[in-house]
Structure 1
Amino acid sequence: MKTSTKVIIAVLFCYFVAWLDRMAISMALPYIGKEFNLSATALGGILSAFFIGYAGCQIPGGWLADKFGARRVITSALAVWSLFTAFTGMVSNITQMLIVRFVFGAGEGVFPGPVWKIVGSWFSKKDRGTANSCVLTSTTLGPAITPLLVAPLIAAYGWRAVFYILGALGIVCVYISWRYIVDKPEEYPGISAEEVRLIKEQRAADEAAAAGMEQSIAPKASFWELIQEPRIWVMFFGVFFLTVPIWGYMTWLPTYLVKVRGLTLAKMSIAASIPFFVATVGMLLSGWMSDKFFRGRRRYLVIAAELVGAFCLYLFYTTPSVEYATLYQSLAAGFLFMALGSIWALPVIYLPENLMGSGSGFVNTGGQLGGLVAPFALGLVIDWTGGNYDAAFKLLAFSCLISSAIIFLGIREKKNPAGPLPAAQATGR
């Protein structure tokens, strides 16, 4: 097995546990609400508390990775969020819950930037879309497996025990990250000289392909120069409006299935799990299709997936049939996560390696602001409309349309598989 494959598997496993930790709260939400007698708005606030910490630490996490190395930041983040995952099971009131979920979010918030830096260090531009989609399968496998894992634990031991178990699993990740995730290929213990040589040759080919081109994101740009580039803001807001439906869907789906569709805990766990297995397929296809068929025109894959996903969301909340609802919610998840994998191929390809951590952290801040807004906004809409979940899902579908319009208008590509795009072609100027 190639060393780069081992690194990606280690990153994927740690990211997967991160998603188990953050998705478990959605499964526990009905029981937390009952125990503390909370409204839908208050429950949305608990979900959003995570994103306040998470979004606020995206750029600092990337900056720390650029300055001190991704490995140290990843391992430290794992230790913090695992501790506060366990603390979630110890809270005795809503105030404590909000504080714990905020710090938990901050711990996970410094994690993504270093991950994209690892991808940038170990893979050439032509393979980053595929490597990126492999890492991002954690965003679908986590939600897929969480209901199957967490529902039986809640039924047997109560919701608090779930967070103790997940906190212990996080400690395993601390060891894995320090053992298998290394900042630079040449620093990995036991890596062959041949593999190091191939990776360096791929880096040199990337630099040669970019040489002499008018760069909109220059290889040695500072962070402040980076955020003056229009394309980075296009990616920021494109990701923001895409993650509103994704996070709104993920966080409220279990509660919707119980309260609106009338499913039992056991049936809900299955119904909430199926869409994310489909989403895993969509995520894997997104990276492969982006690198294989859409190099130089990746925005079209993003737009098509978002539009189909929005239509499936509409079919999901309008059908009276539970069986068809399961079908449509699965298709919606598949296409929304295909769009997510496709849209994230943009920053990992266009950002220079020295700013891969802070730049991707900046883009991901937009995504996590979407995650912050979505749960709370949906809770407000549900309360304002007297429990009308259909109105909430309309909001999610509309957000997909906004994101696709931003990408369509803001990204102008010219087929150029070897390297970054010229400024005028990439931004439409």
Structure 2
Amino acid sequence: MMQTLQQLNDGLLLGYQRVSIAEQLTQFPTKLFELADTLEVLDLSNNQLSSLPDNLADLHQLKILFVSNNLFEHLPAVLGQCPKLEMIGFKANQIRTVPEASIPKQTRWLILTDNQIEQLPDSLGQCHRLEKLALAGNRLTALPNSMANCHQLALIRLSANQLTALPHWLFELPNLAWLAFAGNAFSHVEHCDNTRVPVVPLSQFTLGQLLGQGASGLIYQATHHAEQSDEASFSCQTDVAIKLFKGMVTSDGYPADELDCCLTAGEHPNLINVVAQINQPEQLGLVMQLIPPSYGNLGLPPSLQTCSRDTFEAQTVFTWARITYIASQMADILAHFHQNGISHGDIYAHNIMINTQDSVLFGDFGAASNLKQFTPQHLQLMQAIEVRAFGYLVDDMLNLIDNPNTPQATMLRQLVQDCLQHSASTRPSFKALLPRLASIV
């Protein structure tokens, strides 16, 4: 819920814990300091701000600050003085520099997507609670080696930068489960040349209702005009879903990389089927099967509290049989991905579609990366990172199990424990997980 500057100036927001104002502000509203004893969440996104006051730390209860879509050229050093600030969002500004003192040591969640950052400070390695770090769409050529000390880091988005390689210490972070790096010097596809599915022009479709949207694009229901098609293999598809990618770069990276990963992943019974691609200079897109209305999301995205772990609808309950069936399908899909040299990067319940029979449909390659440049050792380590994400997925469902005391639940807990081993080299592969899941009966 949004508030207004007028409400703030009239004293109507006294006692508020959360304030969100978007009114093309050019200056930080000093009246906010009157809320210092209660204000925990401040969202000043979508304004025209370029600086924060030097006494920002007087907001001594402030835990969460979002200032995305503003005009900052530097990450304000004053942030580092805020005693409780742990979640910081400066997406889509014009930030070029990140001073050593600007990141509070207690930071858990830092979003710097879509800026112009060339270098990160060594002090980032002192953020021992850092769990989620979004850096896609910058100009980074390297990461500070001090980040090897960020042992709580679970999710890092590095897509669409200028990295020439990934540092080896990144693969040794014990809690890392979600890693995306497409669109760097070593992993970028300028043009998607994959011909697994036919290329068709957007003009052959009439777009209908908007079905959904994500970081990288909009998904529409669409009708294909078969009489305009010269692709016999595609002419039978009439009602489809089309994902149209946004602009040049998104928080997930470059559209061409996502298109390439999606097509390289190949076909699988539990993958949302791609039937054609739109590959025009001004517009990239995917033409996909229309997901039946009987399918819905398995989970909900992480909350501000859970940070990197998914949430679920209230009253959600799983049986051991449901967990095992869903996990078996996912392990099979992910084994297929890695066999084809693709990492998914976003293995979450909220990205999984299921129907009433718990049949899985999986997709969304926004955080996927092509592993064709990887050595066998790094391929194994990359899979181990994804196995950890899979372990979290199963663990999230186990936390909602109806009866935790069955032998099958015990076997699932042991499987999760193995997937979450601190040492990546000791985690099982997806292929090795399949017979274990099949034995849980």
What's the TM-score bracket when you normalise by the shorter of the two chains?
under 0.3
**Higher helix proportion:** 1
TM-score where L is the length of structure 1: 0.21
**Higher strand proportion:** 2
Structure of greater relative contact order (alpha carbons < 8 Å, 6+ residues apart): 1
TM-score where L is the length of structure 2: 0.21
